[in-house]
Structure 1
Amino acid sequence: MIQTAPLRAQNPAAAVALMVLATVFIAGTTLAAKALGTDTLGAPLHPLQITHGRFVFAFMGLLCVAAVLRPKIKAPNLRLHLSRTVCGAAGVTLMFAAVAFIPLSDATAISFLNPVFGMLLAIPFLGEKVGPWRWAAAAIAFVGALILLRPGPDTFQVAALLALGAAMAMGFELIFIKKLADREPAMQILLINNLIGSILLSMVMIPFWISPTMAQWGVLIALGLMMAAAQTCFINAMARADASYVTPFSYLTLIFASLYDWAIFRAIPDWVSILGAAIIVSGAALLAWREAVNSARLRRVTHSGGGRV
């Protein structure tokens, strides 16, 4: 019998607080990655080396939590875990590469496309049907991404394509997360994900390794711990309230990323960044709303004993 996570009592206020805290940490990880990928703290580190630090130190942080909670690891689907980790590592590495060249606000906004890619990929991989509302949400979000790419010979941002690739890789990751979430408890998923990521990145980043400065070691540790904290806060937020209620608060990541970028790098979003981000968030919010409507409709049908959604 596969272990399932126990249901938590619903607490919307705590869920919102945890989700906001998660956005603070997530924005902090992109800030740390930008500091490590530029010459702010020493010679720039390769994105693969930064991703390696993210997995290793996140795993160490989660291991400390596991030592207290003592979760039982039962029947992990290693094929799904490996697929999820490869996609997630690719997405994180591309994201870390992007933030070294473009504003945090632009990269963060483009990353909000990952649920859109997840929706599109769910059609062939999960057999899901997509209605007109969700297609409209996807179209709106992609218009925003096109604006942030700044098409034109003098303004086109090649680095923004890295963020777009990150969103696509994370969209693939969502497919595997959906499959894992129905089979295994959250702590087991996090531990195995970060363990596999640590092993994989330890091998692939060897050719790109350079000795970090003391400041860079500190930021690498902070990056991993912030990611572990963000994942923990996010999962606990989703366990304490409906996803449709707490998901909109995840868009605060964009606000915190912009504030961090301004405070540390004095980067101020221009009107193109603000317009593109607003359109992407609108599309992602429409998609989240439609998912909530579909979930509520499915619950009503299930409770009534049948019918067609």
Structure 2
Amino acid sequence: MSLATPQNPPLAAALILAATTFIAGTTLLAKALGTDLLGAPLHPLQISHGRFVFAFLAISAVVIALRPRFIRPHWGYHIGRTAFGWAGVTLMFASVAYIPLADATAITFLNPVFGMLLAIPLLGERVGPWRWGAALIAMIGAMILLRPAPASFQPAALLALAAAAVMGLELIFIKKLAGREAPLQVLWFNNLLGMLIASCAVLPVWQMPSLAQWGALAALGLLMACAQACFINGMARADASFAAPFSYATLVFAAFYDFLGFGAVPDAISLLGAFIILAGAAILAWREGRPIPPAGRAAAAAQRS
């Protein structure tokens, strides 16, 4: 069964950008929980567990209020999406405890590039020169932010790189689910399965959080639920190779939150990298937002069928 969502690239871009503000907030809370800011540092597996538990509770409240009609879920896609999503989030939360928030975010949000590349063989999407060019521009900006010099390399950066790779795979499953099931159903099953996986994984390392940590875990889960809602709705309204690069804006919000929470001031290199990334996303939005001739719409519709 296919649930067609009208394609609207400008709205998709706006939804993805909204998601980035929430995602950046979750990384800030994860950094606070993974350090001694709110009490004894929590293990990344416990932070990930809290994220799924509280996100599931928030989304379940919406489901109870709206009482939507769920169709039979595609368990294979749900399990694949959730497994890669849980692994990516856990690796991301592990990395932010050891390296600067903006650096970790820059590395992990290379995942749209992985997603765009994987969308070619796995989704059969066609990536034209404008998309390739915009993605390349964003990659250049990310590399500037990474400062890839031997003296600045930290092993923890590999955790963020691994997170980017598995999150790129998650994008593929998100896109597949977006055309089959309603966004709210996708969110509910994702967080249910994620809670079950995280609950098993956290058992060996679980410790009693402080009151402040409980509050941060709850806020983290709520922000992630909001981010997921925006992200899935955005992905349903445009090709994955178009929508995914907009998540690079998380770098800007992460740097801003890092300044508010930890007093980190971005230098000229960080600002330059962020500007280049946003320039790539802006080019992509301008190109995809142009009116499509009737022949082009017919070809696109045939390709999606």
Are the counterparts in 1 of residues 38 and 212 from structure 2 also a CA contact under 8 Å? yes
Partner of 2:103: 106
Return closer, same or farther for 1:275/1:110 CA change in 2, 3 Å cut-off. Answer: farther
- Residue matched to 2:298: 302
User: What amino acid does structure 1 have at the position aligned with 2:296?
Assistant: R
2:37 paired with 1:40:
yes
Partner residue in 1 for 2:176: 179
Does the CA-based 8 Å contact 1:57-1:224 persist in structure 2? yes
The 3 A distance-change label for structure 1 pair 114 and 33 is: same
Question: CA, structure 1 residues 306+277, in 2 after alignment: closer, same or farther (shift >3 Å)?
Answer: closer
Deviates more, 1:210-219 or 1:244-253: 244-253
Paired with 1:138 and 1:96, the residues of 2 have a C-alpha distance of: 25
TM-score, length of structure 1 as denominator length: 0.82
Aligned to 1:230: 227
The answer on whether the counterparts of 2:23 and 2:250 sit within 8 Å (CA) in structure 1 is yes
**1:82 corresponds to 2:79:** yes
Name 1:143's counterpart in structure 2: 140
Structure-1 residue corresponding to 2:194: 197
Identity over aligned residues, as a percent?
61
Gaps of 5+ in 1: none
Counterpart of 2:51, as a letter, is R
Cα deviation for residue 132 of structure 1 reads 3.5
What are the residue-to-residue correspondences of 1:1-309 with 2, within 5 Å?
A: 2=1, 4=3, 16=14, 22-235=19-232, 252-287=249-284, 296=292, 300-302=296-298
Cα separation, 2, equivalents of 1:287 and 1:144:
15
Counterparts of 1:291 and 1:113, CA distance in 2: 21
| Bigger mean CA offset, 207-216 vs 19-28 | 19-28
Mean Cα deviation higher: 134-143 or 214-223? 134-143
Q: Matched residue of 1:218: which SS?
A: helix
Question: What do the CA deviations read for 1:97-122 (whole angstroms, capped 9, x no partner)?
Answer: 22222332233333432221111012
Is contact 1:115–1:284 with CA below 8 Å preserved after alignment? Answer: no
Distance 1:195 1:213, change over 3 A: same
How far the C-alpha of 1:154 sits from its partner, in A, is: 1.7
Q: Which runs of 4+ in 1 moved over 6 A?
A: 5-8, 237-249, 303-307
The more displaced of 255-264 and 63-72 is 255-264
Q: Is the 8 A contact 2:34 2:43 kept in 1?
A: yes
Q: Give the Cα separation in 2 of the matches to 1:161 and 1:300.
A: 42
How many residue pairs end up in the alignment? 302
Q: CA deviation at 1:79?
A: 0.6
Q: Secondary structure at the match of 1:184?
A: coil
Q: In structure 2, do the counterparts of structure 1 residues 277 and 43 end up closer, same or farther at CA, with 3 Å as the change threshold?
A: same
Which TM-score applies when normalising by structure 2? Answer: 0.83
Residue pair 1:91, 1:167 contacting (<8 A) in 2 also = yes
Once residues 121 and 44 of structure 2 are traced to their aligned partners in structure 1, the CA distance between those partners, rounded to angstroms, is 31
Q: CA shift at 1:93, angstroms?
A: 1.2
1:74 maps to amino acid: I
- Using a 3 Å threshold, how does the CA distance of structure 1 residues 238 and 122 change in structure 2: closer, same or farther? closer
Displacement after TM superposition at 1:42 (Å) = 1.3
Following superposition, the deviation at residue 226 of structure 1 comes to 1.3
Contact 1:109 1:281 in 2 (8 A): no
- Between stretches 257-266 and 52-61, larger displacement belongs to 257-266
The code of the aligned residue for 2:3 comes to T
Q: Is contact 2:135–2:245 with CA below 8 Å preserved after alignment?
A: no
Q: What residue ranges of structure 2 are gaps of 5+ in the alignment?
A: none
